[in-house]
Structure 1
Amino acid sequence: MTNPIIEYSALAAVAAVVREGSFERAAAALGVTSSAVSQRIKAIEERVGAVLVLRTSPCRPTSVGARMCAHFERVQLLERNLIDGMPNLFTVHPACAPTIRIAVNGDSLSTWFPAAAGEFARRSGNLLDLVLEGEEQTAQLLRSGEVLAAITADPAAVQGCRITPLGILRYVAVASPAYFTRFFPNGIDALSLSKAPMLRTDREDALQARWAKTVLDSDVSPPTHWVPSTQGFVDLLRVGLGWGMVPHILGDRYIASGELQPLEPLRALDVTLYWQYSRLFVHILHDLNKTVIATARTLLFPPSEERMSE
């Protein structure tokens, strides 16, 4: 009998180090010594001919290591599915629930997705590993095999995946009243908008530029504050740091309280979100898919093509 290509006890050590962030914590989680964890990882790295774990603080996976960890998580899910389907044939059951890795955009994670995650976890007992990424980039994590499901803004299905429209996340351009008075005393135009500092979450965040292009038919490049946090983004808008696009689910209450005001009350940017998931794991993901879709349909606007609302 030939030796297995992958030694799963060694791969379990890799996954534990990546999950726990250090060899010591991984050893404690696995119930072995740090030396044993190190030896297992060294052995599998020699076997595959690549470094899998960067010995940093915290430890991080290489691109190959991330793929190997994703493979290990999938094997665990398949094993759990098999055991659950034939409980009378197995006397030993997994010590902990399997983990499902999902790519989620920050605005969904800060608004409607927690309700779906909480409901799914209560019903299934499964664990979730949420990977934070922009909705325009989450599909790439599906293509690379790093996640089993993702919230995307791309209507094209990733190869090997199924796709379902979730609904519209509506964005409103807002600023504090004091900020508005200071920078837009005569209203919004291309000149005033180009001088008014705006907020962006990261270099991929194009919502502000898209809104300005559609409303003013102009490309503007205002001074920019970088704020990599959805709630921090809203909080800094409230204290007058700049203007920016916020999901209606977060922004409506602050508009109602007078802490924020829309730059153009009748012009909002609608972004249609989609749920994509691996076809190979459709049965394992059934409950998760059902919960995510039902929650989105409750909290988001009905799905349609991406458009500007007036």
Structure 2
Amino acid sequence: MDLDLVRTLLAVVDAGTFDAAAAVLHVTPSAVSQRIKALEQRTGRVLLVRARPVRLTPSGEVLVRYGRQLLALDQDLDAALGETAVVRVPIAVNADSLATWFLPALQRVPAEPRISFDLHREDQDHTTALLRQGLVMAAVTSSGEPVAGCEVRKLGHIRYAAMASESFVRRHANGELKSWLPQAPVVVFDRNDDLQDRFVRTLTRGRGASDHRHYVPSSEVYVRAVAAGLGWGMVPPQQVQEGLVDLAPGRSVSVPLYWQRWKLDSPALSAVSAAVAAEAAESLE
């Protein structure tokens, strides 16, 4: 594999367009297009769907995954030989982990080798898709089923409790929780977030949360929206603020978290994995 061609493919995938990749690589868009064509001719496969942003074909996903491994090994070699290269480690992590325990985990990573963290925020139920596409080398995920070419380690559980502001409870609470909560306004992280629906189903054994939904795709702002009384929501204990009320003490939704990483003998990736496991052992149930 020609490393320049591999770097070009990864730049296009990461940047989303040929023009943006050209700016990153300091070449012309025409040069980027020629390199991608050369790589496709060598492999005999179409690797990219030319859309905005570009999309990987199944063959492209395979090549990107192995291309990242090839470049990671190349960076590890430079580091082992005392070169000044920084090893880039792309990681997919869910927003709640990112807002609570994951950054302290990265602080545990040793200073050597020099590592550049490239964090991709994604719902824990969907981070494995980034692994399959070769966009990341490791992921915090709710799936214990290993992605092809990856190994899995269980990290623990993160629990979510149904929380609301005192003013929200005064406005909406009327009778048993199962009778009024399914109709009450609810704060949802994004359209992949089903924690609120799962919690309501534990009460009703059927329907989910209300269609009156506020989508707030930021972990910190999400909690502020619940505290402001826009709706109720599922909040991990590390983010509970003063003034929030637990709507169902003793009831919660538990989400298992796993660490999936490529089966790659990379000192940088191993150092990150060890740090993540150590922090999870202290911070998660």
* SS at 1:165 equivalent: strand
CA distance in 1, matches of 2:177, 2:99: 29
| Matched-pair contact (CA < 8 Å) for 2:13–2:55 | yes
CA distance in 2, matches of 1:229, 1:130: 15
2:205 is the counterpart of 1:218: yes
Q: Indicate how the Cα distance of structure 1 residues 121 and 39 shifts in structure 2: closer, same or farther if over 3 A, else same.
A: farther
Q: Indicate how the Cα distance of structure 1 residues 51 and 156 shifts in structure 2: closer, same or farther if over 3 A, else same.
A: closer
Amino acid at match of 2:269: L
Amino acid at match of 2:102: F
Shift of 1:292: 0.5
Residue among 231, 236, 252 paired with 2:225: 236
Q: Aligned residue for 2:152?
A: 163
Q: Aligned residue for 1:128?
A: 117
Superimposed CA distance per residue, residues 139-198 of structure 1 (whole angstroms, 9 cap, x where no aligned partner): 344345443222122234444433222122121111111111111133412x21221122
Q: Aligned residue for 2:33?
A: 38
Superimposed CA distance per residue, residues 75-111 of structure 1 (whole angstroms, 9 cap, x where no aligned partner): 11112233444x28xxxx4x74232222211211122
* SS at 1:120 equivalent: coil
Q: Aligned residue for 1:308?
A: none
Q: Aligned residue for 1:207?
A: 195
CA distance in 1, matches of 2:117, 2:150: 19
Q: Indicate how the Cα distance of structure 1 residues 49 and 168 shifts in structure 2: closer, same or farther if over 3 A, else same.
A: closer
Amino acid at match of 1:205: D
Matches within 5 A, 1:37-186: 37-47=32-42, 48-52=44-48, 54=50, 56=52, 59-63=53-57, 64-85=59-80, 87=81, 93=83, 96-120=85-109, 122-186=111-175
CA distance in 2, matches of 1:125, 1:84: 8
| Matched-pair contact (CA < 8 Å) for 1:105–1:135 | yes
| Matched-pair contact (CA < 8 Å) for 1:73–1:100 | no
Amino acid at match of 2:7: A
Amino acid at match of 1:210: R
Amino acid at match of 2:6: L
State the percentage of identical aligned residues: 36
Q: Indicate how the Cα distance of structure 1 residues 143 and 263 shifts in structure 2: closer, same or farther if over 3 A, else same.
A: same
| Matched-pair contact (CA < 8 Å) for 1:102–1:128 | yes
Shift of 1:9: 1.5
Give the structure-2-normalised TM-score: 0.84
Which of 271-280 and 173-182 deviates more?
Answer: 271-280
2:236 is the counterpart of 1:247: yes
Alignment RMSD (CA, Å): 2.8
Shift of 1:290: 0.8
Superimposed CA distance per residue, residues 57-87 of structure 1 (whole angstroms, 9 cap, x where no aligned partner): xx434245454333322111112233444x2
Unpaired runs of 5+ residues, structure 2, are none
Amino acid at match of 1:168: H
CA distance in 2, matches of 1:133, 1:155: 17
Shift of 1:28: 4.6
Superimposed CA distance per residue, residues 35-54 of structure 1 (whole angstroms, 9 cap, x where no aligned partner): 32332223324444415264
Shift of 1:284: 4.7
Count of aligned pairs: 281
Please say which structure displays the higher CA radius of gyration: 1
Q: Aligned residue for 1:272?
A: 256
Amino acid at match of 2:222: F
CA distance in 1, matches of 2:29, 2:177: 61
* SS at 1:245 equivalent: strand
Which of 271-280 and 237-246 deviates more?
Answer: 271-280
Amino acid at match of 1:264: A
